[in-house]
Amino acid sequence: MNENRALILSDATASHRAATDAAGLCRDLVLKTAMKIQGRRYVQVEGWQTIANAFGCVASAKNVQRIEGGFTAIGQIIRLADGVVIAEAEGYVGDDESTWSKRPVFARRAMAQTRAMSRACRSAFAFVVTLMDAGLETTPAEEMTHVIEERSVAIDRKNVAAKVVEVTSVPRIEEQPVNEVFTKAVATIERAKTVDRCEALRETLDTRLSEGLLTKFEFDGLLTLLHRRTGQLIDLSQEQVTA
């Protein structure tokens, strides 16, 4: 019994650590892309996709359909390691939404997919958002269109300027500090101009990891970026040769 309990606690600790690492890894981008509505911040689809990627998953949408009253789509979170669908949700755009009712069909279909992906991500990773910043709402930003519409109508009727109320009283939940070493490394990789430079950066990353300036999760994420940048530079050099 004690051994089973210890095993459960160990698994729970590992899961929490992974979630905390993921929150720290993508916190910057999620906060920068969050949309502020009536003083609250909502995560947009780009932020949800970043969180999914930090967990080794990808968000996708399928089965876009025209139904009575609007468009629907199914969003899925797929684990890249084995292709297993770990979460699924429906996105919907209604004909009664003034913002979307006059948009072209392709735009409404696209928004249905966007909402489906955001909703699927929320069902799987809402807990990660609370680890990043307690002031972030877990309702996807794309689902708050009606609030923006209602507020715009109210402001127009009263003919007054909107006042944004900052949320200052919400307690923080394990807010993760930004790792400046990680942030600078991302910028340096993106600026790399040669394959030799990328190889030198790999050695630098190894050093930063051994010095404890990067977590293993951050190190793995940077390696992914570095490999992608190296591939881009190789493709670019080949194009120049053939040209």
* Average pLDDT, 10 consecutive residues per value, the chain (243 residues): 44 60 72 81 85 85 92 91 90 88 88 91 84 78 66 43 41 50 84 86 87 80 78 74 62
Handedness of CA 21, 22, 23, 26 (dihedral sign): positive
E strand or H helix at 51, and its extent? helix 45-54
User: In this structure, are residues 62 and 73 in contact, taking their beta carbons and an 8 Å threshold?
Assistant: yes
E strand or H helix at 140, and its extent? none
Side chain identity at 157, as an amino acid letter? R
Closest by CA position to 56, among listed 221, 186, 227, 232: 221
Residues linked to residue 90 through DSSP beta bridges, in sequence order: 74
Side chain identity at 69, as an amino acid letter? G
Question: What pLDDT sits at residue 74?
Answer: 94
Closest by CA position to 86, among listed 75, 97, 95: 75
What are the residues whose beta carbons fall under 8 Å from the beta carbon of 33, sequence distance 6 or more?
Answer: 43, 44, 46, 47
Question: What pLDDT sits at residue 35?
Answer: 84
- Which pTM was predicted? 0.54
For residue 167, CA distances in Å to 71, 124, 132, 137 come to 34, 26, 15, 11
User: In this structure, are residues 239 and 202 in contact, taking their beta carbons and an 8 Å threshold?
Assistant: no
CB-count burial class (<10 Å; 0-12, 13-18, 19+) for 37 = middle
Question: What pLDDT sits at residue 71?
Answer: 93
Question: What pLDDT sits at residue 72?
Answer: 94
DSSP 169: S
Question: What pLDDT sits at residue 30?
Answer: 81
Closest by CA position to 31, among listed 160, 156, 172: 172
E strand or H helix at 133, and its extent? none
CA distance 238 to 242: 6
Question: What pLDDT sits at residue 159?
Answer: 46
Q: Long-range contacts: 211-220, Cβ < 8 Å, 24+? A: 213/179, 213/181, 214/179, 214/181, 214/182, 214/185, 215/21, 215/24, 215/179, 216/21, 217/18, 217/21, 217/22, 217/24, 217/25, 217/54, 218/21, 218/24, 218/25, 218/179, 218/182
